[in-house]
Amino acid sequence: MMRTGLDAWRVRSAGFPAEWTDAEKLRFLVNYAVLAPSKYNAQPWLFEICSDSLDIIRDRSWALREADPEGRELILSCGASLLNLSVAARHFGYAVQIQTFPWPGDRYSLARLRLSPLSRDKAKPKSPLAGRASNCLCSANSTNWAAAEPFDDDCFEAIRNRCTSRRPFRTGAPPEEAMGACVEAVFAYGAWFHFIRDEPARRAVAQLVAQGDREQMANKLLRRELRRWTHSRRGRSRDGFRVSRYGLYGAMSLLTPGFSALFWVFNLGRLNAAHDRRLAEKGPVLAVLGTELDNPQAWLSAGQALQQVLRRATVAGLSASFFNQPIEVGHLRNGLCQLAKRTGFPQILLRPGYGEPARHTPRRHAKEVVYSMRTLVLDRGAESGFDQMDAQTARQSFVVNIELGLHARPCALLVKTLRPFRSDVLVEANGEEASGHSIMGLMMLAAGLGSVITITITGEDAPQAMAAIGRLFVTRFADAYGSSRDSRDPKLL
């Protein structure tokens, strides 16, 4: 039976491997992590599982260079998946120990999770995340136990029931109780959440949304990027979004190839701006989620806060959609903050309300985004398992999976990645050896596509350095190219 991108939403809690190892439990919990929202439904995450821990890795090969050049929304999405993991673990009777940014100098690993029986959670002191505002934006490389919260099955099922809706909402405003629950939910993550209810302020925000649309769509490279992520309702892609987002439903979705081509040929900013402005103005209420700081740690916390809000809204029967244009266009961001009458940095602009049920977007299956340093397969870049010879020596063989081989850009990225580590790195290929700290030496190995290279690392931080190299191969050295999806699919170049 053929599996589709919508199968990911049909995960059932009955399949939880309660009697198996922590690694298998974490692998199952990833089924809930992949249901988090992400811009363009890019799903920019990977999950590295060791014997008793899981690392959330930002997958830069699915990054959006034009729409999200700083990677802010990428980290927000990974924060939302982190929250899903925590909620699912609690549902199955486990507390989650979370260490954010566990490896200093590692630009990929965002958080490390470990499971513990829930009874141990009671013995731990309250997490700083249980406080408010400044107490919650813990520094990088910090470890906390996920804050406890009132929990029921509805909160857990909201992970699967949540859906983004771009359709018009009914005029009735959400009840005060539901809005209060959303405001309260974000405090534990150092964020603030403000509802914009009066009509003049909503019209002003709608103006910012429309202006952001026009400025973004004037960028031809951004339109090209948007085109890549647009597909038909009948398409089999497990990422991206349906053209129905722009009002084409049913048989009209067959026009998707021609419709998406318009993004590249023509500037449809005015039409898109008018559509979004109308939705924002007619919505009963708008909401802004923000933080006091604007750095990767704050973005990760904001992503968790966002998913908490979406869960609470789903339980209350609300739908929501995103209007982040005023945040993505830098000079409009301060205007949104003033309209929200808050200090700090807006991270998300939401349109909550009551509307017709929307369809889920496709998702890549958990097995497609999970890997292990000991069980990497050939098509993800590694030939053999992680061979740690002793406490200070590690050896790993990789298959070069870049179309042009290890040329200047990936060699420079490899050297840059190894810079924070103190270990010695030796790279072998084609019978030659070179230092992992020399760009010219690595280029002289002439390791082309399909070549096998063996890396030996000696030093006190050898395992961490090898893990960082492994992530480069898993993401196909995406940071060396800087464009979304290009390193994975040469046809898009």
Catalytic one among 360, 365, 407, 437? Answer: 407
> What pLDDT is attached to residue 456?
93
Q: Provide CB contacts within 8 A for 186, sequence distance 6+.
A: 192, 193, 289, 305, 308, 309
Question: Of how many residues is the chain composed?
Answer: 493
Strand ranges of the sheet holding 432-435, from the earlier edge strand across to the other edge:
387-390, 393-399, 452-458, 424-429, 432-435
Which residues, listed in sequence order, are joined to residue 318 by a DSSP beta bridge?
A: none
CB 205 within 8 A of CB 216: no
- Residue 344: count other Cβ atoms within 10 Å of its Cβ: 17
Question: pLDDT 10s digit of each residue in the chain, 493 long?
Answer: 445 678 899 999 889 999 999 999 999 999 999 999 999 999 999 998 888 899 998 887 788 989 999 999 999 999 999 999 999 999 999 999 999 998 776 777 899 999 988 764 443 433 333 333 333 444 445 565 554 454 556 789 999 999 998 888 988 888 899 899 899 989 999 999 999 999 999 999 999 999 999 999 899 888 888 888 887 655 567 888 776 555 443 333 444 455 555 555 566 678 888 989 999 998 889 999 999 999 999 999 999 999 999 999 999 999 999 999 999 999 999 999 999 999 999 999 999 999 888 888 889 999 889 876 543 433 333 333 455 555 688 888 888 888 788 889 999 999 998 998 989 999 999 889 999 999 999 999 989 888 889 999 999 888 888 888 888 888 778 777 764 444 444 332 2
Cα first-last separation, the chain: 34
The DSSP line for 437-490 is T-HHHHHHT---TT-EEEEEEESTTHHHHHHHHHHHHHTTTGGGT-STTTTT-G
Domains and CATH numbers, the chain: 5-160 (3.40.109.30), 164-353 (3.40.109.10), 376-488 (3.30.1340.10)
Active site (annotated) includes residue 407: yes
β-pairing, 241-242 vs 230-231, is parallel
> CB neighbours of 240 closer than 8 A, spacing ≥ 6?
40, 41, 42, 228, 229, 230, 231, 362
What is the full DSSP assignment across 244-255?
GGGT--GGGGGG
Count CB-CB contacts under 10 A for residue 391: 9
Q: What is this structure's pTM?
A: 0.79
What pLDDT score was predicted for residue 87? 94
Is the distance from CB of 363 to CB of 8 less than 8 angstroms?
yes
